Each structure stands twice: as structure tokens, then as C-alpha cells.
């Protein structure tokens, strides 16, 4: 199976209106910048986006919010995006806020073929509304379901043409779990190598989980919050 595609536009061309997408990254680290830009160019709309956060106004998922392509956000942290806040308060955007650990586990469960699990996170809060609750060893737990995502779109440091991926630093946070969880996984990488060029013991995601891979370009490497010491 030839997994290599020429660019982001070719990688995302099968994404249709109304689909559910997982988008990797943590803050502005390790987000699939090229793929998001391609989705903006394509104009696909009414998307449900699962991501730890919603980017910022002019970067990441924030670009898709600006063009009104996102119908619903499923996230754990959204505090850096003014457009997100505006759409939420005006009722233009559906939002499901969930604990960060629950978000991670719902991704991991999907990749592992586990349909649901119990977690104590969120018990006794609005997060628990409408969910099954059970007691285990004197502690209350909520039933949470694995995500059901049409596509997972991730960004890796290195990958090979077989789809094996290596992530760098904080970019390893949500990307590996999402790569294993999507029905179809698209990976953009900074370096695209031939099979055998990656050290086998350093691979974070085996190529069996990846359907499409391409070498990205022009990564910005932004810093979300820059704090400097005064002289």
C-alpha cells in the first residue's frame, strides 16, 4: 500500500462536510498546520473537531473557526481563542468541554478497541449529566465512551514511507493516541524517510495505524505564551 501523498491538499481531499475529525497537538505544539490550512482552502464545513484546545485566533483550529467551518468542538482547554469565545457565547458553536485526562483516555480507548470505560473525573459536576454512574470500592465513577472519529490528523517530527512515526517532546502528548484512534489517519511530518531509516525502538506509532503521510512545509514553531525577564 502506497501511503505517501504529495501534499496536504491531496491528503485531506476525502474529508466531507459533517465529518468528525481528531486534530493532534498540545497548545500550539505539534499541531497539523499544513492539513488545517488545506481544510481552510477546501472549505469543508459543519465539522466536529476533537482536539485538546482550539488554537488561537490566527493559527491552528482558530483558522477554521474564523471561516465558520466548525460546527462543534470537543476540547479540554479553550482559553486562548477570542473567536471561539465569541461563537460560544453567541450560540454559533456547539461545545463539549471534558477533563483532559478523559479526553486522552477516550482517544486511547478508541485506538485500543475499547468501547467504553469508567473514570472518577467529573463525578458530581456538569460533566456527569446524563451519564451512567457506578460505584467501585466505595468510589463513584462515570461511564465514558471511546471517540468515533472519521479522520485523525496528526503531526510528527519524523516518519517513513511505511507510516511509522516519531514525535518530539510535547508533540507526543495527544498525537500518538489520536493516530491510533481515527478510522483513517493522516500524518504530516517534518522529515520523511525511507523504511529502515528510523530506529525501530524509537518508533512511537507503528505504520499500520497510518493511511496517508506527507512531508509538510513552512512550520511556524510558535510559542503560545512568551514571557521574558525585564533587564
pLDDT one-digit tens code per residue, 169-178: 989 989 999 9
Based on the structure, what is the number of domains in the chain?
A: 1
Q: Which helix (H) or strand (E) holds 34?
A: helix 33-42
Neighbours of 119 (CB within 10 A): 16
Q: DSSP letter for 93, please.
A: S
Q: What pLDDT, on a 0 to 100 scale, did the predictor assign at position 3? A: 96
Indicate whether 170 belongs to any domain. Answer: yes
Q: What is the mean pLDDT of the chain?
A: 94
Q: What share of the chain is helix, strand, coil (3-state, %, to 5)?
A: 25, 30, 45
48-72 pLDDT, tens digit each = 999 998 888 888 899 999 999 999 9
Q: 127 lies in a domain?
A: no
Query: Does some domain include residue 135?
Result: no
Residue 124 lies in a domain: no
80: pLDDT strictly greater than 80: no
Per-residue pLDDT tens over the stretch 200-224: 999 999 999 999 999 999 998 777 7
Q: How far apart are CA 58 and CA 83, in angstroms?
A: 10
In a domain, 45, yes or no: yes
Residue 227, in any domain of the structure: no
Q: Supply the CATH number for residue 60's domain.
A: 3.40.1080.10
Residue 168 covered by a domain: yes
> Containing domain of residue 162, as a range?
8-112+147-215
Q: With beta carbons less than 8 A apart as the criterion, state whether 231 and 35 touch.
A: no
The pTM of this model reads 0.92
Amino acid at each position: 500500500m502506497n501511503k505517501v501523498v504529495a501534499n496536504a491538499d491531496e491528503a485531506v481531499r476525502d474529508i466531507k462536510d459533517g465529518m468528525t475529525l481528531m486534530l493532534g497537538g498540545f497548545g500550539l505544539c505539534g499541531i497539523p498546520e499544513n492539513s488545517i490550512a488545506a481544510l481552510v482552502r477546501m472549505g469543508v464545513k459543519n465539522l466536529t473537531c476533537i482536539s485538546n484546545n482550539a488554537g488561537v485566533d490566527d493559527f491552528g483550529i482558530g483558522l477554521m473557526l474564523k471561516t465558520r467551518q466548525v460546527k462543534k468542538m470537543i476540547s479540554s482547554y479553550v482559553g486562548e481563542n477570542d473567536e471561539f469565545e465569541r461563537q460560544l457565547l453567541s450560540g454559533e458553536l456547539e461545545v463539549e468541554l471534558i477533563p483532559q485526562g478523559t479526553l486522552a483516555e477516550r482517544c486511547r480507548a478508541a485506538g485500543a478497541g475499547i468501547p467504553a470505560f469508567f473514570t472518577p473525573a467529573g463525578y458530581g459536576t456538569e460533566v456527569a449529566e446524563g451519564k451512567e454512574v457506578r460505584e467501585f470500592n466505595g468510589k463513584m465513577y462515570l461511564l465514558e465512551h471511546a471517540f468515533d472519529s472519521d479522520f485523525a490528523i496528526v503531526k510528527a517530527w519524523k516518519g517513513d514511507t511505511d507510516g511509522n512515526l516519531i514525535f518530539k517532546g510535547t508533540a507526543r502528548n495527544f498525537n500518538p493516541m489520536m493516530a491510533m484512534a481515527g478510522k483513517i489517519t493522516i500524518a504530516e511530518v517534518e522529515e520523511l524517510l525511507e523504511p529502515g531509516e528510523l530506529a525501530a525502538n524509537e518508533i512511537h506509532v507503528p505504520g499500520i495505524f497510518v493511511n496517508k503521510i506527507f512531508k509538510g512545509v513552512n512550520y511556524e514553531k510558535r510559542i503560545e505564551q512568551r514571557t521574558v525577564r525585564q533587564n
